[in-house]
Amino acid sequence: MKAYRYRLYPTSKQEATLLVSFELCRRLYNCALSDRREQYRATGRGLTYGTQAGRLPAYRAMHSETSGIHSQVLQNVLIRLDRAFVNFFEGRARYPRFKKHGRYRSITYPQIKPDDLDKHSITLSKIGRIRVAKHRPLKGRAKTATVIMQPCGKWYVTITAETARIIKQRITAAKQPVGADSGLTNYLYLSDGEHVDNPRFIKQHEQRIKKAQHTMSRKRKVIKTIATQTGEVIETKAVSRNYLKAKRALANRWRDYTHAKDNWQWHLARRLVRTYDFIAYEDLQVRNMIKNHNLARSIQDASWGGFWGKVENLAAQTDSVFTWRVNPQYTTQKCSRCGHRNRIALSERTYRCNNCGYTAPRDFNSSKVIDAIARTESGLGHAQPVGMDDPELTPAETRTSAPQPMLAVVKSPVEETGSKGSRCADRALTGRQAYEEAHDFSRGRTSQSPP
């Protein structure tokens, strides 16, 4: 299965129909959630999807306005609620909550016909033919279509297509294996010496986001008087049109930030998949890491989980690229040459082994450890004996390969996360030149030591 997202351009009438459908689906979701809660309080057992789906015809008979919505769209609302409870009981999400007005912004058509999708349009039941910007061809047979309205007001359709299944054989050899260490100073540090700077997109966009947020905060809500059918007069708070404009402007600023980061990550992920055929990385528990409030903002901006998800997605579309997750425990403390474990603080960016004297940038040493562990676990073997003194990795593979000249990207300066400093142009050194330039901290340079 593969998903394709296209931009939608509905007419004003179609947009109004879609918004009404969103609101009716939201009411059904809240009604089904309320039934589940009341059933559990009364009997101690909740309702299943099958039970609620059986009550759906009676619900449609009581609410005639739902006749303008396809029956499978309403069934998908109940499927979403059931999936929300499954995620809650399995510990992946919190307890489902009622959705406020405007919080339900998508509907799904579980089945679409090949004739429904044209070159420049898509036909949706009860909605009609909507113009679509099909910027790339859809490969495979279309299965489902999800119409989404983003907070900025733009419309999209996500189509899932059934494609040919790629069956990968068990990995036995790799021509270009690499280990990658994820960080905040260096977004990626590869075991071949190359490293990628952290672009820190939040710093590039935070001023515009703050300005839009400040503008929206100055917009005041108005109080409207509503007369009910019984003649009772009720005062309620409502937002003004200027507030809605400011809210949409803020959503546009966040959209620009998200799109810039996603675009950069997709380009970097494609470069990794095209360059290497075996990619090992740390299986970081980001949810636990953001509990450190000093680094939570930078960690969320880095989006390591989203990036490695893109890498796995691209690797799954090929039959020659494999990915491997490594337990991040002690990868920053273990020596990549002898395997000795050294306790070093996070502020120390240069790794110095107390056992063999090996010295290298901390992230580079970690990437080599990740590469060695992945080769051991996958059966590829490693290029040098790593972890001989660690009982968990004994006996270790001792097959050696011919040394190759390494490209060391030397940057200036190497700083702590969040520190300020000037940036210099990158220089690429190979072999002995890189080793002769090592540890020149007075000029802000670091590199790896000769083995």
pLDDT 10s digits, 317-369: 888 899 999 999 888 889 988 888 888 887 888 888 888 888 899 999 999 99
What average pLDDT does range 429-438 have in this prediction? 38
What average pLDDT does range 137-163 have in this prediction? 92
Report pTM. 0.75
The half-sphere exposure of 417 on its side-chain side, counting CA atoms within 13 A, is: 20
What pLDDT sits at residue 230?
Answer: 61
Q: Distance of alpha carbon 50 from its chain centroid, rounded?
A: 32
What average pLDDT does range 97-110 have in this prediction? 93
What average pLDDT does range 303-327 have in this prediction? 91
**109-131 pLDDT tens trace:** 999 988 888 889 999 999 999 99
Rounded CA-CA distance 384/399 in Å is 7
The structure tokens listed for 173 are 């050899």
Nearest partner of 403 among 193, 180, 170, judged by Cα: 193
Nearest partner of 99 among 149, 148, 32, judged by Cα: 32
Q: Where are the alpha helices (DSSP H) in 189-240?
A: 201-217
Rounded CA-CA distance 145/122 in Å is 10
What pLDDT sits at residue 447?
Answer: 38
- Give the H/E segment covering residue 132: strand 128-133
CB 177 within 8 A of CB 278: yes
* Poorest-pLDDT segment among 57-71, 222-236, 409-423: 409-423
Say how many residues make up the chain.
Answer: 451
Rounded CA-CA distance 11/403 in Å is 63
What residue segments make up the domains of the chain, in order of their start?
2-162, 177-208+238-443
Number of neighbouring beta carbons within 10 Å of residue 291: 9
CB 301 within 8 A of CB 320: no
Q: Radius of gyration (Cα) for the chain, nearest Å?
A: 28
> Residue 308 above 80 pLDDT?
yes
Q: Show Cβ contacts of residue 183 under 8 Å, excluding neighbours closer than 6 positions.
A: 189, 198, 363
What average pLDDT does range 414-437 have in this prediction? 37
What average pLDDT does range 191-200 have in this prediction? 92
Q: Show Cβ contacts of residue 379 under 8 Å, excluding neighbours closer than 6 positions.
A: 171, 172
> Residue 228 above 80 pLDDT?
no
What pLDDT sits at residue 56?
Answer: 95
Percent of the chain with pLDDT strictly greater than 90: 53
Q: What is the mean pLDDT of the chain?
A: 82
pLDDT band at 199 (very low <50, low <70, confident <90, very high): very high
Please tell me which residue, 31 or 408, carries the higher pLDDT value: 31
pLDDT band at 172 (very low <50, low <70, confident <90, very high): confident
Q: Show Cβ contacts of residue 104 under 8 Å, excluding neighbours closer than 6 positions.
A: 22, 23, 25, 26, 29
